[in-house]
Structure 1
């Protein structure tokens, strides 16, 4: 039998509901306001006083964004670096972690020492630039994906993950004649989906949001990322120049701020689209179904 709510219970429920509503509103309203800006005339938004719905509804911001080859090119570069960078980062980090997880690995402690030192000490930006230049990565697409192929933070997490996988799984496969590559791809990876999903989401988000490498190590405008373009707008270094471009923005009621907001909305969509497919792995058991007691 459910206990009948008293007056005190109703008052407490009301207070909790109000507090939760305020928290949700404060959390979600900034995102809604950015979306609101993209659906309103940029010149009208500059006037201010718009809070809950567009005063002059328009899709001009999105049309201008889609018609600008620089934004489209930057979106493509960001998408490509995210896909390639995430795939390479997860693959190589997983391979190295699988090797270091072997307790009988020669010089295992030395490798761990190298990883810990590399995590806590850096040669600095100049030394990093010299290394990239010596490898021929400056002003190339490779500068986006190659330096991040080994993620040291997730390397330690993956090592801990792999060491907790029962060795009986690999030993039974070796008895059947399976190679280490086959064991890794057919046995270890399938039971490591929570780890792989978490690595993919965080590495992918890092690749998608990165802009410093595009600012420091790339001069080719065709290789600029979406976040770099957004930072240009924020720093007011990409103010429209030229009579033709200024006139085009004036006719379409588009402003640099409205384009920045549009780019922000567009940049959020891919992450929102991927996250629901990976979320279920965050709460799944690490060894669920792999070993039956």
Structure 2
């Protein structure tokens, strides 16, 4: 009885310490986001005095009005939305089709293809060969530079393939008896039953497309094709925020600063992913668990 009570007490203490530890981790993870949000909602000139940690001292939306009044930001936001939607759809469909072919045991040379693909997970040609290839393909200063180079991922293929192998062969055999070809089987049977893994890969690639600033910085010179993350990078790294302040109306410009505009831009660019992610998280977890255990 004594040993049982001691063991139970140790477990309770461990659980409480674990709760405290996780709360501390959550605080250090979430507070920087809260700090940025609070300061972006404060009067810009007042925020420069410092001392704002938990709640706005002079509540104001003027920094957000200044951001949305800038045509360059709105155009960059449109480019980001377009490349995220188009890029995610193309990537998921193309990678799923290739993975479906790889999951067929009758595919000739499947092991050789898998070995070659595995090498690409660890080694790449580097930035200079990639740039030369993009240039020779005519993708510089083109919207399709966001889509074509990343329309396939071998890592995502492995995730798709593990899921497809769990689908009963009887579904395909029944469809073939009804006269369906491989493409119709893939479109009408494989994809509908693969929604968990499709949502997982869509979340992966959608977040990548939304957060990608490097592609626009390296391959795009036209301002009208820059995504919001590249635009944000230049606002933070250069003096673009001062130019944005100069473009705002006189009433708003009195209550904003270059720092408050930077913070408001960060919030605006991060908000869509923060909103969408919780709704797709359940598919994210399920997509990785399915296929890991065979029953």
Q: Once the 2 structures are TM-superposed, how far is the Cα of residue 57 of structure 1 from its aligned partner? A: 1.0
CA deviation map 1:69-112 (0-9, x unaligned): 11111111111110011001101000000011111101212221
C-alpha separation in 2, matches of 1:115 and 1:7: 52
Give the corresponding residue for 2:201: 199
Match of 2:84 in 1: 82
Gaps of 5+ in 2: 1-7
What is the rounded CA distance, in whole Å, between the counterparts of 2:230 and 2:132 in structure 1?
Answer: 22
1:13 shift after superposition: 7.5
CA contact (8 A) 2:200 2:287 kept: no
Shift in alpha-carbon separation, 1:274–1:105, aligned structure 2, 3 A? same
CA pair 245-109 structure 1, distance change in 2 beyond 3 A: same
TM-score relative to the length of structure 2? 0.86
Residue 135 of structure 1: how far off its partner (Å)? 1.3
Within 2, Cα distance between the matches of 1:15 and 1:113?
A: 46
Measure the CA separation in 2 of the matches of 1:27 and 1:122.
Answer: 32
Query: What are the within-5 Å matches in structure 2 for residues 16-31 of structure 1?
Result: 18-31=20-33
Separation in structure 2 between the aligned mates of residue 177 and residue 10 of structure 1, nearest angstrom: 62
Residue in 1 that maps onto 2:96: 94
- Structure 1: segments with no counterpart, 5+ residues: 1-5
**Match of 1:3?**
none
Aligned partner of 2:145 in structure 1 is: 143
TM superposition shift of 1:162: 1.3
- Inter-partner Cα distance in structure 2 for 1:63 and 1:281: 36
In terms of fraction of residues, the more helix-rich structure is: 2
Q: CA 1:266/1:123 → structure 2, altered by over 3 Å: closer, same or farther? A: same
Q: Cα gap change, 1:20/1:232 in structure 2, threshold over 3 Å: closer, same or farther?
A: same
Name the Cα RMSD after superposition. 2.8
Change (3 A) 1:162 1:15: closer
- Asked if the contact 2:92–2:201 (Cα under 8 Å) also holds between the matched residues in 1, the reply is yes
- How much does 1:275 deviate? 2.1
Q: TM-score, normalization: structure 1? A: 0.87
Cα distance in 2 between the residues matched to 1:227 and 1:160: 33
1:228 to 230, 249, 260: 230
Q: 1:254 aligns with which of 253, 256, 259?
A: 256
1:122 to 96, 121, 124: 124
Alignment of 1:99-118 (within 5 A): 99-118=101-120
Aligned position for 2:4: none
Is 1:161 the counterpart of 2:163 in the alignment? yes
1:264-288 CA-partner distances (Å, limit 9, x unpaired): 2112221133223322323448899
Structure 1 residues 238 and 170, CA gap change in structure 2 (3 angstroms): same
CA distance in 2, matches of 1:223, 1:236: 19
